[in-house]
Amino acid sequence: MECVFGLVGEGFAVVAADTSAVHSILVHKSNEDKIMVLDSHKLIAASGEPGDRVQFTEYIQKNVALYQFRNGIPLTTAAAANFTRGELATALRKNPYSVNILLAGYDKETGPALYYIDYIATLHKVDKGAFGYGSYFSLSTMDRHYHSRMSVEEAIDLVDKCIVEIRSRLVVAPPNFVIKIVDKDGAREYAWRETVKDSIASSA
Amino acid sequence: MSIFEYNGSALIAMVGKNCFAIASDRRLGVQLQTIATDFQRIYKIHDRLFLGLSGLATDAQTLYQRLVFRHKLYQLREERDMKPETFASLVSAVLYEKRFGPYFCQPVIAGLGEEDKPFICTMDSIGAKELAKDFVVAGTASESLYGACEAMFKPDMEAEELFETISQALLSSVDRDCLSGWGGHVYVITPTEVKERILKGRMD
């Protein structure tokens, strides 16, 4: 039931993910951040087995940082995507990771980019992508309303349309979503879309 | 569903008069869902040698990277490009190395050999070469492709007629296969030039 989706706009890329941490029928928490800031201008939105998701994305994050320390320049989005695919591909026939990834990034030379990397290490550069059961709704909604070079307002509007669609049509729809954006000013959290607040509730 | 049908693919290579053509569909899917409609299945190894990889997309990407690596090393050592026959044997060897844990790909190799004689071949996922004088096919639509090619093929076609024939054979076959399609990618190679064309077919 994990929903992750993203799209590329004019000079930016935006990704959204649900924030439920679920174990069978139990919701552990509803504010689990599944979009990791890989470096200053990259985001990794990951869905899949919780252990693999955190371990694998942290591993990628640390290796991307190591490259920057060693070489003095950051990796491009394409290079980071190919590195991620390489790690998944190497592990595939030994000890596979069950993680689906949408890697969004911004490079000064080439602009925004979104890479679809599924758990069996299929890599493809896309304008819009989605994983999980939510993808059946978000991909169709994006197919209908997406056009190239959307503004931030239009893109967030489209993301909200997808969230509304998922909430109304997916049987075990996640209540909360986080939206993160990456553009020339860097990767940052844009907004949360919450219907259930996960705080220590003060009871009556 | 078979692992070869997970992503969906269609490939043809055809021989003409001192020229050859290689064509593929453009769909990248995950079983019933379409992820992208601009997926590249045909890769250039060098100006007179093209490789098409059908089957599981992740293995096609891994295999392509390994083969390009081997070809680049060959170029450094021999100071020349590989002949198509040699490359076919290389692909066959690389696939058979993984005999008991194979790459789930069916390659199609097409190239211009000595004296501009066109060479095409295909092989199964463990490297059993199938040389042909007229056409070879691979992918989820292979049965339709065999029928279409058998009906439409004529020996010694010139480049333009070859392009028409291979395009019609590809489009009519993928239209009967739900896992491949969304247009076509056709390369026509003569001793003097390489022409790449995108086909618009039924976009479903």
Q: Kindly report, residue by residue over A77-134, the tens digit of the pLDDT.
A: 999 999 999 999 999 999 999 999 999 999 999 999 999 999 999 999 999 999 999 9
CA distance A193 to chain B (A): 26
Residue among B30, B58, B101 whose CB faces A89 most closely: B58
Give chain B's contact residues with A (Cβ, < 8 Å).
Answer: 7, 28, 30, 33, 35-36, 39, 56-58, 61-62, 101
Write down the ipTM of this complex.
0.93
Write out residues 137-156 of A within 8 Å (CB-CB) of B.
139
Query: Quick one: what percent of chain A has pLDDT higher than 70?
Result: 97
Chain A hits for B61, Cβ within 8 Å: 85, 89, 121-123
- pLDDT number for residue A197: 78
Q: How far apart are CA A177 and CA A194, in angstroms?
A: 6
Query: Mean pLDDT of residues grouped by 10 in chain B (204 residues)?
Result: 94 96 96 94 96 97 97 97 97 97 97 95 96 96 96 96 97 95 96 96 90
**For position A198, what pLDDT does the model report?**
62
User: Is the four-CA dihedral A38, A44, A45, A50 of positive or negative sign?
Assistant: negative
Mean pLDDT of chain A: 94
> With contacts defined as CB-CB under 8 Å, which chain B residues touch A120?
56, 58
B151 CB contacts (<8 Å, ≥6 apart)? Answer: none
Q: Chain A partners of B7 at a C-beta cutoff of 8 Å?
A: 122
Q: Taking residues A21-38, what's their average pLDDT?
A: 93
User: Which of the two residues, A195 and B161, has the higher pLDDT score?
Assistant: B161
Q: Does A97 touch chain B (CB under 8 A)?
A: no
Whether B36 and A121 lie within 8 Å, measured CB to CB: no
Task: Name the closest residue on chain A to residue B103, using Cα atoms.
Answer: A93
Partners of residue A116 in chain B, C-beta under 8 Å: 35-36
Interface residue A122 vs chain B (CB under 8 A)? yes
- CA-nearest residue to B27 within chain A is A124
Residue A44's H or E segment, with its range, is strand A42-48
Q: What is the pLDDT of residue A199?
A: 61
Per-residue pLDDT tens over the stretch A122-143: 999 999 999 999 999 999 999 9
The residue of chain A with its CA nearest to that of B101 is A93
Asked if B62's CB is within 8 angstroms of A122's CB, the reply is: no
> Distance (Å) from the C-alpha of residue A66 to the closest C-alpha of chain B?
24
pLDDT of amino acid A1: 78
Give the per-residue pLDDT at B25: 96
Mutate which: B41, B58, B66, B100, vs A, most A CBs within 10 A: B58
Average pLDDT (A55-73) is 95
- Chain A residues whose beta carbon lies within 8 Å of the beta carbon of residue B57: 122, 124
Given a contact cutoff of 8 angstroms between Cβ atoms, the answer to whether A132 and A47 are in contact is yes
The residue of chain B nearest to residue A90, with distances taken between CA atoms, is B62
